[in-house]
Structure 1
Amino acid sequence: MSCIAVTPHRVQLGEGPFWDASTQALYWVNITGKQALRLMDGQLQVWQLPEHVSAFIPCESGDALVTLSSGVYRLDLATEALTLLCVADPQPGNRGNEARCDAQGRLWLGTMQNNIGERGEDLPVIRRSGGLFRIDADAQVTPLLSGLGIPNTLLWSDDGRHVHFGDSLDGTLYRYGIQADGQLDPAQRWFGPHERGGPDGSAMDVDGYLWNARWDGSCLLRLTPYGEVDRIIELPVSRPTSCVFGGPNLTTLYITSAASPLDHPLDGAVLAIEVDVPGKPCHRFAG
């Protein structure tokens, strides 16, 4: 598979890719650089934000959500005005990390101890202070999990009865049953650890296979529905961070990445590769 960089733009910590099918636009973030980015009609637009941002997700109402250190905000894409939607995680010193919307348009947000200094330097994760929260369209917050290290990957089964959710501090992807009241069953270890780096963000194809970005592994792992390695997709970046299916037929896999000490030429780029199976679509926030 051949990879191309979709723009010349490079970032320190690219994350959270989202494909908006209705506008054929790619959204992602530069967490360290406090930037929300969108590529639409070949044009790159960058919104500079006041805090570290982990996700940039369009809303049905026409604006977008950004998950900042201090809370979840609505971003007016025209005026760049920010309006607080909610504070999902009140724990001091935490920040948002993984965030995606389920098929009902509810935002699921995983938080963690902040590991980024004000000058962009790495800070050690020394406590499991993170959590997983669900945010409804009316801004109601439901806590789901606590004691998390570095939450990554949020993907649901077609019937909505299970969610895949990972913790990079454990090197493991888990599978949770979703109860009738929306709470989660105890975690079931689903995959990992694995020698090819740590688990970061993921996307799911129409066959139920999970494509997992491997931090420090320079690859994606395509995992079967039973948590077995189906194939390894080698990448020309040191630290792929997440991926999403996009393009007119959802057969273009967009991959975000981060800078690394190895300083490969494409580190920090968004890559695109064409794959042989379409993926599942992203969902906008319902509010």
Structure 2
Amino acid sequence: MTWTAVTGHRAQLGEGPFWDAPTQALYWVDIAGKQALRLIGANVQIWQMPEHVSAFIPCESGDALVTLSSGVYRLDLDSPGLEPRLTLFCVADPQPGNRPNEARCDAQGRLWLGTMQNNIGEQGEDLPVVRRSGGLFRIDGDARVTPLLRGLGIPNTLLWSDDGTTLYFADSLDKTLYRHFIHTDGNLDTAYVWLGPHERGGPDGSAMDAEGYVWNARWDGSCLLGLNPEGHVDRVIELPVSRPTSCVFGGEDFKTLYITSAASPLNHPLDGALLSIRVDVPGKACQRFAG
């Protein structure tokens, strides 16, 4: 399988890729570098954030959401990269010392946001995770926040079944991917272990294809694991980076898989790059925020 480095940009901690089909644009972030990035054609636009940013998701209203350390903000996409115009939308998790991590929108356009103890220093250095203070929150278009889970370590992967009754969710501190049944009132049932610890690194972000297979980026594993709907490893895609962090399907036919990555102590030349590979089965489209 042939991979391509999409841009010359190298992130400290690339994350959160989002493919916006209406504009054929790719959104992603460099959490530690405090950057929100958008690729349209061959042009990369970068907004320098005042805080660590974990997700960058366009809205139906025409602007975008960015999840910063102090809250969820609206970003004016017409504002200059060095002077981004930000407006506070909501504070999902008021716990001191926490920061946002994974964030995705469900089929209704509601933002699901996982938070964790901050593990990034001001210079981008790693800090140890010593407490399970994170949570999972659902944010509606009117900024109403609903807490769903507490006591999380490092939340990653947010995917839903086609019928909306199942959430696939990872806690990287547990090295485990879970499956939750979603009740009709929106609350989550007890976690069910879908894929436990695996020899190829720890679970990070994921994407789902049209056949219901989950493609999970493996931190320190230099690969994606392809998991069938029963949670068994069906395929391994080897990658030229040490720490792939997440992936998303994009392109006009949704058969381009974009993969974000992070720098690593191994200093491989492509660590931190945004990669792309062509695949045979198309993926599912990303959902904009409904607000």
Report the TM-score, using the length of structure 2 for normalisation. 0.98
Q: Within 5 Å, which residues of 2 pair with 1:232-243?
A: 232-243=236-247
- Structure 2, unmatched stretches of 5+, are none
Q: Deviations over 1:37-79 (max 9, x none)?
A: 0000210000000000000000000000000000000000112
Structure 2 counterpart of 1:33, one-letter code? G
Q: Deviations over 1:166-201 (max 9, x none)?
A: 000000000000011100000000002100000000
**Is structure 2 residue 73 aligned with structure 1 residue 76?**
no
Structure 1 equivalent of residue 25 of structure 2: 25
Structure 2 equivalent of residue 7 of structure 1: 7
Instruction: Give the counterpart of 2:235 among 222, 231, 238.
Output: 231
Structure 1 counterpart of 2:34, one-letter code? K
**Is structure 2 residue 266 aligned with structure 1 residue 266?**
no
Does the residue aligned with 2:177 lie in a helix, a strand or coil? strand
**Is structure 2 residue 120 aligned with structure 1 residue 116?**
yes
Does the residue aligned with 1:84 lie in a helix, a strand or coil? strand
Query: In structure 1, how many angstroms separate the alpha carbons of the residues matched to 2:53 and 2:248?
Result: 18
Structure 2 equivalent of residue 201 of structure 1: 205
Query: In structure 1, how many angstroms separate the alpha carbons of the residues matched to 2:267 and 2:149?
Result: 36
Query: In structure 1, how many angstroms separate the alpha carbons of the residues matched to 2:175 and 2:167?
Result: 17
Structure 2 equivalent of residue 39 of structure 1: 39
Structure 1 counterpart of 2:177, one-letter code? L
Q: Once the two structures are aligned, what percentage of the paired residues are identical? A: 79
Does the residue aligned with 1:65 lie in a helix, a strand or coil? strand
Q: Deviations over 1:77-106 (max 9, x none)?
A: 112210001000010000000000000000
Structure 2 equivalent of residue 63 of structure 1: 63
Does the residue aligned with 1:212 lie in a helix, a strand or coil? strand
Query: In structure 1, how many angstroms separate the alpha carbons of the residues matched to 2:60 and 2:45?
Result: 20
Structure 2 equivalent of residue 158 of structure 1: 162
Structure 2 counterpart of 1:6, one-letter code? V
Query: In structure 1, how many angstroms separate the alpha carbons of the residues matched to 2:230 and 2:191?
Result: 15
Structure 2 counterpart of 1:130, one-letter code? G
**Is structure 2 residue 249 aligned with structure 1 residue 249?**
no
Structure 2 equivalent of residue 149 of structure 1: 153
Q: How many residues align?
A: 287
Deviating above 3 A after TM superposition, structure 1's stretches of 4 or more consecutive aligned residues are: none
Does the residue aligned with 1:207 lie in a helix, a strand or coil? coil
